[in-house]
Amino acid sequence: MNRKQIAHIVGLLILSCALASAQSITSFEAPGAGTSSGQGTLAEGISPAGKTFGYYIDASGVAHGFLRSARGDFATFEAPGAGTAAGQGTFAFSLNSSGVLVGYSIDSSGAMHGYQRDPSSTFTTIDAPGAGTGAGQGTFAYNINSSGTIAGFYFDSSMVAHAYLDTNDTFTVFDAPGAGTSAGQGTGTASVIALTARGTLTGPYIDSSNVLHGYVRHSNGTIITFDAPGAGTGAGQGTDVSGLNPEGMIPGFSFDSNGVAHGYLRAKDGTFTRINVAGAGTASGQGTFPQGINPSGVITGQYVNSGGVAHGFLRRKDGTITKFNAPHAGTSSGQGTFPLTNNPSGAIAGYFVDASGVAHGFIRSR
């Protein structure tokens, strides 16, 4: 090995150390979050201004919404009518540029109701026409765009899912072509980042054979369905969808015939790029799970290794992948690091599960 080769290797080591040190991961707990297994803080998203939102589970197993400022100040809240028993409460899922937050609550009967929370803390309840009122039925509000349009889905009294768009209290309900009509089937939406400013919406649907497929609905009502290459065709297999960015790029993952997850990126023209992170497991329930994508096309998500442990990853537009773990993330099956969304400046929000099974929110900054 000559001096030039040694210098090159040393340079690469210095660069890799610089890249590693460039990241900063901050963990946080919402006030009132429980500290036992199955409790804690779950961050769902992060705005361009660095506001983080999601929900926390308290010591009684009840969910509460939160909004965390870039400085670390918390506002916690309950949607009107939210239940106060374990498994009930308030869940927050999407925040627009005007500070309007949407999500859903589970009432004392186990039924779901969407809500809109304005910056003044004023709530509006969202119950889609046709939504069931029994346990496990009702309305999920999962997305809100800059113009205030809300998107989500609801379960009817037969437990069939139907997607909707709510614009100024005018509901447009739709079903993807091929969606099943039996309990547990139908049309859903992805959460947090599934609705663009122009009104394009994406999500998964489940057919009559209980197979997952993806769709894109354009603002004119045209629906295009798709399947990721290699997606399985059996019950519980197929193509799931995580969201989209303003350029129409869709990240997601598919389950193959063995139940292994493989990530994908679907371009606006319908072409697919497969994403498999090195180290991802190859057994059922393991693999690569892209979750978020920012306007630049940078993807984040998690991969689950052969031990069932989740690890974070960041995929740049050129295909370069960086792995990361939140400090104190657990290393047993079902534990680890779960990144969910990333904003235009590259900050990533998500949660990690520690060795005791408690969830903690985190932000990874560049």
Nearest to 149 by CA among 122, 116, 180: 116
Of the CA atoms within 13 Å of residue 75, those in its CB half-sphere come to 15
Distance CA 174, CA 182 (A): 16
Tally of domains within the chain: 1
- pLDDT tens, position by position, 128-151: 999 999 999 999 999 999 999 999
Contact 300, 3 (CB under 8 A): no
Query: How crowded is residue 359: how many other Cβ atoms within 10 Å of its Cβ?
Result: 25
Q: Specify if 2 maps to a domain.
A: no
- State the average pLDDT over residues 317-344: 98
pLDDT at 169: 82
Nearest to 289 by CA among 318, 315, 328: 315
Q: Specify if 22 maps to a domain.
A: no
- Alpha carbon 330 to chain centroid, angstroms: 21
Q: Residue 68: give the domain boundaries.
A: 28-365
- pLDDT tens, position by position, 221-257: 999 999 999 999 999 999 999 999 999 999 999 999 9
- State the average pLDDT over residues 41-48: 98
- pLDDT tens, position by position, 262-283: 999 999 999 999 999 999 999 9
Residue 311 phi, psi dihedral angles, 5° rounding: -135, 145
Distance CA 313, CA 253 (A): 14
pLDDT at 22: 58
Q: Specify if 17 maps to a domain.
A: no
- State the average pLDDT over residues 45-61: 98
Q: pLDDT tier at 366 (50, 70, 90 boundaries)?
A: confident
Distance CA 221, CA 172 (A): 10
Q: Specify if 1 maps to a domain.
A: no
The pTM for the full model equals 0.93
Q: Specify if 10 maps to a domain.
A: no
Contact 76, 53 (CB under 8 A): no
- pLDDT tens, position by position, 187-221: 999 999 999 999 999 999 999 999 999 999 999 99
- Alpha carbon 353 to chain centroid, angstroms: 16
Q: Specify if 11 maps to a domain.
A: no
What CATH number should be reported for the domain holding residue 229?
Answer: 2.130.10.10
Pairing status of strand 359-365 against strand 24-28:
antiparallel
Q: Is 83 helix (H, G, I), strand (E, B) or coil?
A: coil
Nearest to 112 by CA among 38, 208, 30, 188: 188
Q: Is 174 helix (H, G, I), strand (E, B) or coil?
A: strand
